[in-house]
Amino acid sequence: MSILIDKSTRLVVQGITGREGTFHTRQCMAYGTKVVAGVTPGKGGTTHEGVPVFNTVVEAVEKEGANASVIFVPSAYAADSIMEAASAGVALIVCITEGIPTLDMMKASAFLAKRKSRLIGPNCPGIISPGKCKIGIMPANIFKEGRAGVVSRSGTLTYEAVWQLTERGLGQSTCIGIGGDPIIGTSFLDALRLYNEDPETEVVVMIGEIGGTAEEDASRYVRDNMAKPVVGFVAGQTAPPGRRMGHAGAIISGGKGTAAEKIRAMKDCGLHVAASPADIGETVVRALKERKS
Amino acid sequence: MKIHEYQAKKVLAQYGVPIPRGEMASNAYEVYEIARRLGGTVVVKAQIHAGGRGKGGGVKLASSPAEAEQIAGKMLGMTLVTHQTGPEGRVVQRLLIEEALRIKKEYYIGIVIDRLAKCPVIMASPAGGMDIEKVAAETPELIFKEHIDPSVGFEPFHGRSLAFRLGLSGEFLSPAVKVMAALYRTFEGMDASLVEINPFLQTEDGRLLALDAKITFDDNALYRHPELSQYRDFHEEDPLEIRASRYGINYIRLDGNIGCMVNGAGLAMATMDIIKLVGGNPANFLDVGGGASAEQVKNAFEILLGDKNVRAVLINIFGGIVRCDLVASGVVEAAKAVGIKIPVVVRLEGTNVEQGRQILRDSGLKFTVASGMKDAAEKVVSLTKQ
């Protein structure tokens, strides 16, 4: 099993005819993802990469039964695309787009709160269940089917962690990039809840970074509810306060959101903390051994 | 993006927030006339992008135009050090000359984004004029909050609820609510990530005014506000950071001696962390972008080498969709074009990694090829210690 996506997921690509949309549609299909439709307003009725293109998400849902969407729409229009997908009743919306204005995301979040759709991202690499389905931009070849869940605010740092797992023969159940923005759809806490209920996930890796308090909130959930070991890492231990470290959400402001606070919360709540980014894989190995002994 | 106090007040005034009378000056000789126009007794305020100016000697009262000019002469060009500037401080290039007001009470009002609730939150406190972070840490009961539904916006009840708790009732209720409504209009209309009036002043003659103000804009929304480009003050930014921003490279200068070039923000932070863990000091944060194209690698080299403290460079690229052999060719090409003379440690991982490493070894350049992040960090740190 996996969380959120599997072999039956039917994907619509919003912004399919753009450069990124085209490239990653091809990559996702090569991985075995069922891409059933694309949406580009004004290009309805055509086909692109062998996929039927529609003007609206509603049509993609009605005609092709799409139940998940991935968004490659430019930042100025991406929040609109998220709301369009939610309005069409798409269950899972994955927004890859970086640079969406925060105000737009707050409005989109308020819109989503009244609907059943789940959003992953924005500003994220997407979600993959190795061997089953890939919705996003991650390099498929580093992943391996298995029983570790990985949830992260970052892109390439996730690949680094996944690589360390795969090298040690530890496959992954589902990996989710939740995104580097201050306002995101699926939080660490949401992801942990899903992993906790997934019988095939044995261990979870949570890769946080400076800014906000999402790692602290998730750590308390681990302490109170998590039946599986959780390995934590926090990037930005050397980041200066008041500076945005690439991701819009990665900023220490008002003395809050430091790596030290997050690491302390993780340790206090019983997570296995990797002190160095090079030790994430080994820490997972240790956490699994400890659980068995 | 940050702006100066006088600019923030101008923006707030456009949205209907009452502000004191005042003018910006960048020469001492202008100050005499400005002070005279404002009635003689004025406050001279240094304009830098950092708080804590009062304690650092950047805010002074003058009782005559002559005194104002004298103070301005001393303040312009001085290096102001506050708890927010770091030890190097900031050089004062502009002043705000403002009418002096008779203060009855100081409050705080501000709007920030609550990440967890995914909406703006208005905060108000009777402990105005103080460092609000300190108030939040030490006396959180003195901070009142109202969350705003972003799809509806500010409603007068939000303002009444806060005003009553601040003790602003009677004749002050309606003006206080109006200021808060204007503050929200500014936040929403300008795509701010923070708007703050501190102190929010009640004067002896019964007025409510923004005595000091701060606005930070959401960089993601700057395209909607082309008028803000006139507010950017390049004196407040690091020249290398300005250059990097023109290349679309995320670069933040730090005080170490190991230049870092990494693809992806999270991995870039983690690379700085591991350098520190093995005993070195990163000179910067640099995210060259997910694709790490040859062009961007070249630009990144130029930025890194612009920092004269850099003694060695660590390149950490996780080649995902982009193959390592392509990245390696780009690195070699860029290093040759730039004519790099300091040691460079390269760590590549991902698709076609072996071919990539071979290209680096065969390049004729003095690259040190590392395997794994730890190995890379140790190698670059030992090279800077030689």
pLDDT of residue A143: 96
Contact B39, B68 (CB under 8 A): no
pLDDT at A1: 58
**pLDDT-derived band of residue A291, with 50, 70 and 90 as boundaries?**
confident
pLDDT at B142: 95
Q: What is the pLDDT of residue B130?
A: 84
**Cis bond upstream, residue A122 (ω within 30):** yes
| A103/B150 Cβ within 8 A | yes
3-state secondary structure of B283: coil
pLDDT of residue A242: 87
Please state, in angstroms and rounded to a whole number, the distance separating the CA atoms of residues B198 and B291: 43
* pLDDT tens sequence across A104-127: 999 999 999 999 999 999 999 999
DSSP string, chain A: --SS--TT-EEEEETTTSHHHHHHHHHHHHHT-EEEEEE-TT-TT-EETTEEEESSHHHHHHHH---EEEE---HHHHHHHHHHHHHTT-SEEEE------HHHHHHHHHHHHTSS-EEE-SSS-EEEETTTEEEESS-GGG--EEEEEEEES-SHHHHHHHHHHHHTT--EEEEEE--SSSS-SS-HHHHHHHHHH-TT--EEEEEEESSSSHHHHHHHHHHHH--S-EEEEEE-TTPPTT---SSTT---BTTBS-HHHHHHHHHHTT-EE-SSGGGHHHHHHHHHHHHH-
Contact across the interface for A156 and B374, Cβ inside 8 Å: no
Q: Which of A104, A160, A248 sits opposite B318 (nearest CB)?
A: A160
pLDDT at residue number B131: 84
Question: Phi-psi bin for A65: left (phi > 0), alpha (psi -120 to 50), beta?
Answer: left
Q: Nearest chain A residue to B278 by CA: give it.
A: A276
A157 and chain B in contact, CB less than 8 A: yes
Q: Are B104 and B202 in contact (CB under 8 A)?
A: yes
Query: If contacts are CB pairs under 8 Å, which of residues 124-143 in chain B contact chain A?
Result: 132-133, 136-137
Residues A200-247 pLDDT 10s: 999 999 999 999 999 999 999 999 999 999 999 999 999 998 899 999
Active site residue A247: yes
Q: Which pLDDT does position B86 carry in this prediction?
A: 79
Closest CA to A13 of A71, A92, A87, A60: A71
pLDDT value for A113 = 96
Question: In this complex, is the C-beta atom of B212 within 8 Å of any C-beta atom belonging to chain A?
Answer: no
Q: Chain A closest CA to B266's CA: distance in Å?
A: 5
| Residues 6 or more apart whose Cβ sits within 8 Å of residue B288 | B249, B261, B262, B263, B296, B297, B300, B317
Give the pairing of strands B208-210 and B192-203.
antiparallel
Band the pLDDT of A293: cuts 50, 70, 90: low
User: Which of A102, A106, A235 is closest, CB to CB, to B273?
Assistant: A235
Give A50-60 pLDDT, tens digit per residue: 999 999 999 99
pLDDT of the residue at A254: 78
pLDDT string in tens for chain B (386-residue length):
999 999 999 999 999 999 999 999 999 999 999 999 999 999 999 999 988 898 889 999 999 999 999 999 999 999 999 888 878 889 999 999 999 999 999 999 999 999 999 999 999 999 998 888 889 889 999 999 999 999 999 999 999 999 999 999 999 999 999 999 999 999 999 999 999 999 999 999 999 999 999 999 999 999 999 999 999 999 889 999 999 999 989 999 999 999 999 999 999 999 999 999 999 999 999 998 866 778 888 899 999 999 999 999 999 999 776 788 888 988 899 899 888 899 999 999 887 888 999 999 999 888 999 999 999 999 999 999 87
Q: Which of residues 207-246 of A touch B (CB under 8 A)?
A: 207, 209-210, 212-214, 217, 233, 235-240, 242-246
> Mean pLDDT over all residues of chain A?
96
The confidence score (pLDDT) of residue B29 equals: 92
Distance, C-alpha B157 to centroid of its chain: 33
- Structure confidence at residue A122 (pLDDT): 98
Report chain A's terminal Cα–Cα distance, integer Å: 25
